[in-house]
Amino acid sequence: MIDLRSDTLTQPTPEMRKAMFNARVGDDVFGEDPTVNALQEKIARLTGKEAALFVASGTMGNQVSINAHTQPGNEIIVEANSHIFNYECGSPALLSGVQVMPLPGFRGSFTVGQVEETIRPENVHHPKTALICIENTHNRAGGTIFPYQDIEQISLLAREQNLKMHLDGARLWNASIATGIPISEYARHFDSVSLCFSKGLGAPVGSIIAGSQEFIDRARYYRKAYGGGMRQAGILAAAAIYAMDHHFERLSEDHRRAKKLGEFIATLPDVELDLETVQTNIIIFDIRKRGVDGQKFVDLLASEGVRMITFARTKIRAVTHLHISDMDIEQTIAALKKVYDKIEKHTISVSKN
């Protein structure tokens, strides 16, 4: 089975498992796990921040950061299709007591002008705007890259207005490889950055947040409060270190394969796919015009040995990753051709009934 549903599906490689097996460990709640400490120092250096904190997941990284930056009753600005707004269980309200202001984005990004219009003026009626969150790359927009110049401008405004900036960089690795802009260049515009090891980098578990020492001290408290104080977590940190050292540069291969697959999908009749969105390892296309239900489409594709996932009723997502080869892309293209044939027949049989 060629599994293109997500880049989170990767299995740790034999070499990664060896690194995990050999990891020196200690109790990380005591701050005594040497491998976790090494990972945190490595990320602090990579991001150009004072400190970093290993967390269980991307969601935990985002939510701990939001709590550490805000007070209950504050408002945070996000993009309307962002992971924080759509896929984190309402946690800004649940865990931090803040209200979320979603901005309509273009390919997952928004402009300084939009932020300027959204920041609340000081007035007894309003919540206080406290934080701006940016997602880069943007999952639901199709792995799109938030333009660097927009980040610069938004960050400048945030500083002028005394607002904090958080980067949901679950796939910042992909943005950095695709643009050639170093992680630290992105990170310097933010008060906190969250990075995932369990997506394109192929580690089994784990994310990390980076920021000032003072921010990380507060974040450590929230991580513990959320039940995220792990003990011999060095086993996981070893996988993360291995992933960074061996699977970061190769992300360009995932991008090349996604582009090839995206270019083919765009040629299929009645498929809506904005090729401009295929900037990294994610392809999102819409088969609405074909008149076929998305679930039916992915079921048919699975019967040809390829798995993709529905993102909305007629939207389908495919993600390239560590376990997807050039041959897999060829086979996926062949399977898509076959499914298109079947859809033709299926559509006819449905209309007859």
Ligand X SMILES: Cc1ncc(COP(=O)(O)O)c(C=O)c1O
Single out the segment in contact with ligand X by CB under 6 A; choices: 29-37, 52-60, 252-260, 283-291.
52-60
CB of 145 to ligand X, least distance (A): 12
Residue closer to ligand X (CB basis): 62 or 109: 62
Q: What angle do CA 90, 86, 223 make, to 5 degrees?
A: 50
- 207 touches ligand X by CB under 6 A: yes
CA–CA dist 258, 252 (Å, integer): 10
CA–CA dist 295, 312 (Å, integer): 9
CA–CA dist 9, 265 (Å, integer): 22
CB of 10 to ligand X, least distance (A): 13
Strands (E), 19-122: 51-55, 75-79, 99-103
Residue closer to ligand X (CB basis): 133 or 300: 133
Total chain residues near ligand X (CB under 6 A): 12
Maximum alpha-carbon separation in the chain: 68
Single out the segment in contact with ligand X by CB under 6 A; choices: 53-61, 95-103, 286-294, 338-346.
53-61
Q: Which of 76, 115, 196, 284 binds ligand X (CB under 6 A)?
A: 196
Single out the segment in contact with ligand X by CB under 6 A; choices: 58-66, 125-133, 270-278, 311-319.
58-66
CB of 88 to ligand X, least distance (A): 7
Please say whether the beta carbons of 257 and 319 come within 8 A. Answer: no
CB of 67 to ligand X, least distance (A): 15
Please say whether the beta carbons of 308 and 227 come within 8 A. Answer: no
CB of 82 to ligand X, least distance (A): 7
Query: Per-residue b/e over 116-153, b at no fewer than 16 CB within 10 Å?
Result: eeebeeeeeeeeebbbbbbbbbbbbbbbbbbeeebbeb
CB of 241 to ligand X, least distance (A): 18
Closest CA to 98 of 125, 75, 69: 75
Residue closer to ligand X (CB basis): 58 or 119: 58
Residue closer to ligand X (CB basis): 108 or 336: 108
- 170 touches ligand X by CB under 6 A: yes
- Show Cβ contacts of residue 323 under 8 Å, excluding neighbours closer than 6 positions: 3, 9, 10, 11
- 58 touches ligand X by CB under 6 A: yes
Compute φ and ψ for 123, nearest 5 degrees: -165, 140
Residue closer to ligand X (CB basis): 70 or 281: 281
Residue closer to ligand X (CB basis): 100 or 170: 170
Single out the segment in contact with ligand X by CB under 6 A; choices: 51-59, 72-80, 176-184, 241-249.
51-59
Please say whether the beta carbons of 261 and 318 come within 8 A. Answer: yes
Residue closer to ligand X (CB basis): 207 or 335: 207
- 168 touches ligand X by CB under 6 A: yes
Closest residue to ligand X: CB criterion: 58
Q: Which of 69, 83, 317, 321 binds ligand X (CB under 6 A)?
A: 83
CB of 270 to ligand X, least distance (A): 28
Q: Which of 79, 135, 286, 328 binds ligand X (CB under 6 A)?
A: 135
Closest CA to 64 of 172, 198, 207: 207
- 59 touches ligand X by CB under 6 A: yes
CA–CA dist 29, 105 (Å, integer): 39
- 139 touches ligand X by CB under 6 A: yes
Characterise 310 by phi-psi region: left (phi > 0), alpha (psi -120 to 50), beta (else). beta
- 314 touches ligand X by CB under 6 A: no
Which residue(s) pair with 54 in the sheet?
Answer: 208
**Can you tell me which residue has the tokens 């076959």?**
338
Site residues for ligand X per CB under 6 A: 57-59, 62, 83, 135, 139, 168, 170, 196, 198, 207
